[in-house]
Amino acid sequence: MTSLTCISADSHVIEPGDLWLNYIDAEFADRAPRLVHGEDHDTFMCEEMELLPIGSVAAAGVPAEQITRHGRFDTHVPRGGWDPHARLADMAQDGVQAEVLYPTMAMRMFAIKDPPFQLACFQAYNNWVNDYCQEDPNKLKAVGLMPMDDIEVAIAELHRCRSLGLAGASVAIYQDADRHYGEPRFDPFWAAAQDLDIPVSLHILTERNPKLKRNISDGIVESSWIQRSLGLMVFNGVFERFPKLKIVSAENDIGWVPYFLERIDYIFDRRRNFFSMDLSRKELPSAMVKRNTYFTFMRDRVGVINRHLIGLEHVLWSSDYPHNDSTWPRSQEMIDYLMQGVPDDERRMIVAENAAAMYDFS
């Protein structure tokens, strides 16, 4: 049990415009991702690829009618996004005592097609965010980015991140039906993550082939990406081979999970002759998901009501600071609303204890 009472299991930094200019290996200095100042707004560019619009990812606490897609880094991005000292003050204002940190712009770098360049970008970010957390390592823990095109390289970076002190690893979410994490070639990585006891996250907006022009319907069905990832991992036997592997569904919410568990068992039973399933009959797929997978959410009352169907120890609240969907600076009001009727001990688990156990917050 932790003495902390509120931990965000999924918050974000917003990378400063010169991060890669300062941290990337000299070999790639001329290709370093950077902030470009346009005529009326700033843009993060990674060679020819535009990353996420600044205004849309830096809108925590901004009234909906004032949110803009584009913006200037200096005027739109909260200082806490890139300054850890300011962040700790923002956390205190929000009643959040500790956070697990994910990137913002770097999430889109899973789409980089040049493996050595992607590795250099990821290592630069991992080094920078580790430095960021040194402001208070007991309150700030970061998730490192893993390049998965070369599994030996990915395993080496996993070990390096563990030695740095990073608390987790993030890989791209669902790839496609012919290239997915159920393939045997990924097994050495899952084995390393299991042996090192490092949670591996599949976070929203980390597709290998992202659609930069998203429509409003995409925002409704975004959890379909994680469902595809988990389904392929389960039916290709990943969780049977690695029963202690920890997979984190990050920022995909949780209301869909009970039906997903019911549906995956149905497919396992009634459609076993339609598809190739690399599974024994010893355990239901839903049991594997409930054992191996952890789920973060921000404002999902339906999911909280059905928390026992998901697995109470595997549900983790998050604030998503400083993004558009963030509950900052009214996270405590949101938590009170979400936890109506939830016993105090279960509330503590969801809001603090589960994250403390997962990421070793003392």
pLDDT score recorded for residue 293: 98
pLDDT (mean) for 16-44: 97
Query: Which pLDDT score, from 0 to 100, does residue 177 have?
Result: 66
pLDDT of 18 reads 97
Inform me whether the pLDDT recorded for 214 exceeds 80: no
Check whether 289 has a pLDDT greater than 80.
yes
- d(CA 118, CA 24) in angstroms, rounded, equals 11
* Cα 60–chain centre separation: 18
Strands of 140-145's sheet in order across: 7-12, 98-102, 140-145, 168-171, 200-203, 247-250, 293-297, 315-317
pLDDT band at residue 219 using 50, 70 and 90 as cut-offs: confident
Whether pLDDT at 216 is above 90 = no
**Residue 213, pLDDT above cutoff 80:** no
User: Which residue type sits at 131?
Assistant: D
In the chain the domains, ranked by start, together with CATH numbers, are: 7-359 (3.20.20.140)
Mean residue pLDDT across the chain: 94
Closest CA to 247 of 320, 174, 152: 174
Q: Name residues whose C-beta falls within 8 Å of residue 50's C-beta, 6 or more positions apart in sequence.
A: 43, 44, 212
User: How do residues 235-263 score in pLDDT, each as one tens digit?
Assistant: 999 999 999 999 999 999 999 999 999 99
**Cβ atoms of 52 and 205 closer than 8 Å:** yes
What pLDDT is recorded for position 154?
98
User: What is the model's pLDDT at position 179?
Assistant: 79
Res 175: pLDDT? 66
Percentage of residues in the chain with pLDDT exceeding 70? 97
Out of 114-118, 228-232, 349-353, least confident range = 228-232
Q: Residues 29-53: what's their mean pLDDT? A: 95
By mean pLDDT, which of 47-51, 100-104, 175-179 is the weakest? 175-179
DSSP sequence for 24-69: S-GGGGGG--EEEE-SSSEEEEETTEE---HHHHS-TT--GGG--S
Q: How confident is the model at residue 355 (pLDDT cuts 50, 70, 90)?
A: very high
pLDDT at 44 over 80: yes
Average pLDDT for 296-305: 98
Burial per residue of 195-216, b for 16 or more beta-carbon CB atoms within 10 angstroms, e otherwise: eeebbbbbbbbbbbebeeeeee
The 3-state secondary structure of 272-330, one letter per residue: CCCCCCCCCCCCCHHHHHHHHEEEEECCCHHHHHCHHHHCHHHEEECCCCCCCCCCCCC
Flag the least confident range among 7-11, 53-57, 278-282: 278-282
Predicted local confidence at residue 212, as pLDDT: 53
pLDDT of amino acid 279:
82
